[in-house]
Structure 1
């Protein structure tokens, strides 16, 4: 019997030794070529089997971890590959190294800037961060991100439930980086609204899928003048109701269905697209664009935003981001004001700087009625991906396009002309077979003569029909609850019907 146990222990120890391969300490140093100094970054490290290798001591998530420029790991012997990134303004570094049993390994990696957007007055931010507050500073530095409100309450989850709310909710660090601790999310049957710059969470715990209406919380939030409300994605079922309220500030054009290495190819529980017309993997991205253009065609002027949902979906922080142009140094309130004015572009790859007749996105051109209005466009585009196409979108239609077959472009785009009031923007799509890699400016607006805004009848009718579809989906059986929810649908229906009547374009 004793001999049996001795043999069994020997077998167990032999198996354990076979599984736990000997290894060594690996020290990885990442240096910025311009400064020759260690630089915070994100690392995707994989072993010879293609499995992600994470750090036990640094912020890690899904397939990556971030480091302040140096990472020390204990790794089994074998071959490893890496990708190192620092947001879209840096070239990605790739390579491999081999770990030999018992031999300490030093790995030196250099990364180089493509461009310095902040030096040109463009400041990056993103509006959908679900990561731990204690990690946010390093996460932002690793992604070279300047604005990042952190979602600390979300339906029945509330970080502040068992701890005091900090007196200082806005934190500035590293000179010109800001995060706010009171971002929140109401995500239910009608979709998701994101809330920013409040002083405490909304009383949303206990809300069911349909009741109370998201409009009840939206109206409460609007009692705080500093609040910013973002429609998280354009295809959520309640979008036409939220838009009709006039109480939302932005909408997620670069959103979390667009991921670094893949797409979420459906619309979750939102309004579905025609998958025959808009097939995967890019169909969801194009549907998002189409819906945003219908909003603009209906005469509403709402700027685009960006969010990645890191901490919930497989994105790094700041993968989807919005750049806002400011004169002078970054200030937190000024960044939000610039976002409201549309001096911005959204991106998950290419860096897109555009001027139209010398003006930045968001500009409103006012022209006399006695002739066409010409727009001359100049673009400066840089990035890591090869450009598939540069498109000029006018009143929702692609009217000009270029295919530079390069990673960058600098120069004039084909001009466009307006005979009547309308809007336009510039979009870049990249050659990436796995995801919708793109950038888009916010809209420019053209007002000609006594017709200040273009209102499309078909776009407005699209939202009338959408409200009808949404109303039919409400399954509340309690009469009082049903009335409380559907009164907002009725108001929205009337709003969009009035838009149809006021339309001045097809």
Structure 2
């Protein structure tokens, strides 16, 4: 079935459906009904609406969740528009096929069309629940947006610490979502997050209850490390805003940080409105172009794993701070039963995650989710067979990679993977290490990929610790120490203490 649908306009009078969006002085109204043909029920969607010159059509404050080039529809209703030709793109989250088409606004037209959105996978039925760790969106629109984007966990930023004081987000962010929409039950939505933006890096903090007040008091001159420790003391979940925050090696050395945002608000040039101040810059000769930032962040993350550290990746879009749709960068967390915040965080702590900005990747090894540690025993080689479910709504997945200890162990064309009924080549270990699966697409404008949190393999000698990777972070600390005082929050004493941690880890290195 073609995904190009033509919709004609007809003028509505009394008894029309809910008004979804309204342009100033419209010439006509478009009745649109969007359904899931499998259930024959209305399906809410995200819509991008443009004229034939490619310019975004904005419908003002009446359009739900309007941001940049998109807004949200409840599934049936009316769009008030001026006369002319229009192009549309409809999305109902990454598990439905995108629909594109056009329509014409003419007076007294008497035609209408139902748009069918076709689901091609259902991750919730498999036990995978999606979340966006970084957003700043209006609370009243969150239930609709989360439903459209198939998100269960959306903690909006309620408070931001700028190095001097806490600032509360606008009231429309702080509204209790369950008061806005009782149908939001079964999801964790609303003002549960805070950002600490200091010279030297940014931390994301998450509470189990709405942050109606600032998370805790911060005294003048506190370093980000001290704030991190205070957050842990306050029973908050702490996430590094990216793997390239300047003070990351200091935070890791506290042994209180084990979660890092891998796909972040600063990855892509077209949407880049967030600040990357406080991050270690990439070498553009090694990580060039629009894909370079995401590749650099991933390379640093692999160095963390090669140091024998079990670090869980998560992802956040920054939607609201930039114009990316909610869930553009997302985290899937596996847990066997129905969604609950407690099960969600337990899955994160166990490393049962996949991060993605496109492909829907769900691996399992021996029936176990990512984050599992396998015991290698006293020697000999063990092969681990990766089973994989994969789907992609957007650009075609070009290849699959099995990553072993930060290097490509096997690269498999998608057609070969399909021929082998979803099995990848077994990955072999005779000593400690880690492995993961990465799926990349043919998209050229950004690095579009999915990556699971690693599976770990440990022998009786303990985790694999790479000398090269530990030395990478020791050199990082040297550069951090050389930064001007106003470009970092870490004190010389904190850097020196962190250096002791990494020197000790270097003494335990058992791999190149």
Same fold (TM over 0.5): yes
Instruction: Work out which of the two has the higher radius of gyration on C-alpha atoms and give 1 or 2.
Output: 1
Please tell me whether residue 110 in structure 1 is matched to residue 116 in structure 2. yes
Q: Is the 8 A contact 2:274 2:321 kept in 1?
A: no
Residue deviations 1:131-172 (CA, integer Å, cap 9, x gap): 112221111112111111111111253038999997999998
1:280-299 paired onto structure 2 within 5 Å: 280-299=289-308
Q: In the aligned structure 2, how far is the partner of 1:22 from the partner of 1:173?
A: 32
Residue deviations 1:270-321 (CA, integer Å, cap 9, x gap): 2122212222121212111111000000111111001000001221111111
After alignment, is 352-361 or 412-421 more displaced? Answer: 352-361
* TM-score (normalizing by structure 2): 0.86
1:187 counterpart residue number:
197
1:153 counterpart residue number:
159
Q: In the aligned structure 1, how far is the partner of 2:173 from the partner of 2:116?
A: 42
Q: CA deviation at 1:79?
A: 1.0
Q: In the aligned structure 2, how far is the partner of 1:220 from the partner of 1:131?
A: 27
Please tell me whether residue 201 in structure 1 is matched to residue 214 in structure 2. yes
1:391 counterpart residue number:
401
Q: Is the 8 A contact 1:342 1:362 kept in 2?
A: yes
Q: In the aligned structure 2, how far is the partner of 1:476 from the partner of 1:261?
A: 30
Q: Is the 8 A contact 1:232 1:252 kept in 2?
A: yes
> Any stretches of 5+ residues in structure 1 without a counterpart?
1-19
Q: Is the 8 A contact 2:178 2:184 kept in 1?
A: no
Summarize the Cα distance change of 1:172–1:471 in structure 2 as closer, same or farther, 3 Å threshold.
Answer: farther
1:420 counterpart residue number:
431
Residue deviations 1:399-425 (CA, integer Å, cap 9, x gap): 101122699785111111112101110
Match of 1:495 among 466, 491, 501: 501
Residue deviations 1:382-405 (CA, integer Å, cap 9, x gap): 112211220111011011011226
Summarize the Cα distance change of 1:78–1:206 in structure 2 as closer, same or farther, 3 Å threshold.
Answer: farther
After alignment, is 67-76 or 32-41 more displaced? Answer: 67-76
Summarize the Cα distance change of 1:249–1:241 in structure 2 as closer, same or farther, 3 Å threshold.
Answer: same
Residue deviations 1:234-287 (CA, integer Å, cap 9, x gap): 111111111111222411112223459667899655212221222212121211
Summarize the Cα distance change of 1:184–1:110 in structure 2 as closer, same or farther, 3 Å threshold.
Answer: same
Summarize the Cα distance change of 1:355–1:82 in structure 2 as closer, same or farther, 3 Å threshold.
Answer: same
Please tell me whether residue 69 in structure 1 is matched to residue 45 in structure 2. no
Please tell me whether residue 255 in structure 1 is matched to residue 264 in structure 2. yes
> Any stretches of 5+ residues in structure 2 without a counterpart?
1-23
1:441-460 paired onto structure 2 within 5 Å: 441-448=452-459, 450-460=460-470
SS at structure 2 position matched to 1:414: coil
Match of 1:26 among 30, 46, 53: 30
After alignment, is 134-143 or 400-409 more displaced? Answer: 400-409
Q: Is the 8 A contact 1:29 1:70 kept in 2?
A: yes
Q: How many equivalent pairs are there?
A: 478
Match of 1:436 among 444, 447, 472: 447
Summarize the Cα distance change of 1:186–1:106 in structure 2 as closer, same or farther, 3 Å threshold.
Answer: farther
SS at structure 1 position matched to 2:229: helix
1:304-383 paired onto structure 2 within 5 Å: 304-383=313-392
Q: In the aligned structure 2, how far is the partner of 1:426 from the partner of 1:128?
A: 24
Q: In the aligned structure 2, how far is the partner of 1:191 from the partner of 1:55?
A: 37
Q: CA deviation at 1:23?
A: 2.3
Q: Is the 8 A contact 1:99 1:105 kept in 2?
A: no
RMSD over aligned Cα atoms: 3.0
Q: CA deviation at 1:219?
A: 1.6
Residue deviations 1:431-463 (CA, integer Å, cap 9, x gap): 111111110111000012x21201111111111
Q: Is the 8 A contact 2:410 2:425 kept in 1?
A: yes
1:138 counterpart residue number:
144
1:47 counterpart residue number:
51
Q: CA deviation at 1:495?
A: 1.1
Please tell me whether residue 461 in structure 1 is matched to residue 466 in structure 2. no
SS at structure 2 position matched to 1:270: coil
After alignment, is 281-290 or 100-109 more displaced? Answer: 100-109
Q: In the aligned structure 2, how far is the partner of 1:188 from the partner of 1:169?
A: 33
SS at structure 1 position matched to 2:125: helix
Q: Is the 8 A contact 1:455 1:503 kept in 2?
A: yes
